[in-house]
Amino acid sequence: MAASFQIWHCLLALLLLAPAAQGQLSPSFYARSCPTLGLIVRATTIRALLAERRMGASLIRLFFHDCFVQGCDASILLDDVGSFVGEKGAGPNVNSVRGYEVIDQIKATVEAVCPGVVSCADIVALAARDSTFLLGGPTWAVPLGRRDSTTASQSLANSDLPSPASDLATLISAFGNKGLSPRDLTALSGAHTIGFSQCQNFRGRIYNDTNIDAAFAALRRRTCPAAQGSGDGNLAPLDVQTQLLFDNAYYRNLVGQRGLLHSDQVLFNGGSQDALVRQYSTNPALFSADFAAAMVKMGNISPLTGSAGQIRANCRVVNSS
């Protein structure tokens, strides 16, 4: 009896210590193969945010723009090389998506400690989580074990990433196509509690929309001229209240008709998400819990696992055969 009890305990210990089975993501995937991974990502992300706090929002957005095109496979990190066309030049990404250098820094440090083990896709997922937490938001266990793509798709980046001018039905459809619910959409949009957007993305909102607070529109018009091509790159905070703090002020802005993007304000405009926006605006704990759950869910979009894909040595290029 005692012997069988000891055998059972040994089997249980082996099960707990073993890496995740092929095809499954697990927070403990690198527990033995790269135990310092979490510390490296956290330390590098802290340095990046100390240098520029806005970078946290950029790293979260990088994760979103990666996962919505081919799944969470680091395809967005691939540079245009020779005849290879990546996703960086796609309309939603060009002169807009940032944070590539931070991922490079993390990858270089990880490769020095655990060469050929950790994917760029997992680094992007971890950096997004750490950025959220370091700016005052929730944390969560990130399922790991993704591998990196050998392909990218500029056409899918142009078609699958929602536009800042999208209406609610279009957003619900775009997120639904990725297996995300309307509730996930509304929670993930809360990432706009931090970061900035360019004038060209909200010009139509502040000059043409009627469901906008007049004082807020006037404030934004000061630095975003009406003429297209004039001040297109001028930045404004997505959250007029606490632009560098991850909180639920974004939803209070929506209730007050102070959403910066058209695609923000459609979440609170007499439609299906109004009630949830009101809940998030008064219940930060509910928002935090739903945001964390939705980030995990988004991170599970079509990952490459097992022997699919590769572990890139340099996140910007496919490994040479």
Q: Concatenated DSSP letters for 80-100?
A: PBTTB--STTSTTTTTT---H
Domain ranges of the chain: 36-160, 168-297
**In the chain, what percentage of residues exceed pLDDT 90?**
91
Indicate the annotated binding residues for substrate: 162
**65 is an active site residue:** yes
**pLDDT score of 321:** 61
CB 206 within 8 A of CB 221: yes
CB 315 within 8 A of CB 104: yes
Q: At what angle do helices 199-208 and 214-221 cross, to 10 degrees?
A: 140
**pLDDT score of 24:** 86
Indicate the annotated binding residues for Ca(2+): 66, 69, 71, 73, 75, 87, 193, 239, 242, 247
pLDDT in tens, 152-176: 999 999 999 999 999 999 999 999 9
State the Cα–Cα distance between residues 31 and 14, nearest whole angstrom.
13
pTM (predicted TM-score): 0.92
Indicate the annotated binding residues: 66, 69, 71, 73, 75, 87, 162, 192-193, 239, 242, 247
State the Cα–Cα distance between residues 118 and 100, nearest whole angstrom.
17
Which CATH number applies to 168-297: 3.30.460.80, 3.40.50.11540, 1.10.420.10, 3.90.1300.10? 1.10.420.10
**Rounded alpha-carbon distances, angstroms, from residue 28 to 51, 123, 141, 185, 304:** 30, 14, 9, 28, 17
Q: Is the pLDDT of residue 17 over 70?
A: no
Confidence of residue 320 (pLDDT cuts 50, 70, 90): confident
* Topology at the third CATH level for domain 36-160: Peroxidase; domain 1 (1.10.520)
pLDDT in tens, 46-65: 999 999 999 999 999 999 99
Tokens 């092929």 sit at which residue? 22
pLDDT in tens, 168-204: 999 999 999 999 999 999 999 999 999 999 999 999 9
Catalytic residue among 41, 63, 65, 205: 65
CB 319 within 8 A of CB 310: yes
pLDDT in tens, 282-309: 999 999 999 999 999 999 999 999 999 9
Decide: residue 53, CB within 10 A, 0-12 exposed, 13-18 middle, 19+ buried. middle
Indicate the annotated binding residues for heme b: 192
CB 305 within 8 A of CB 25: yes
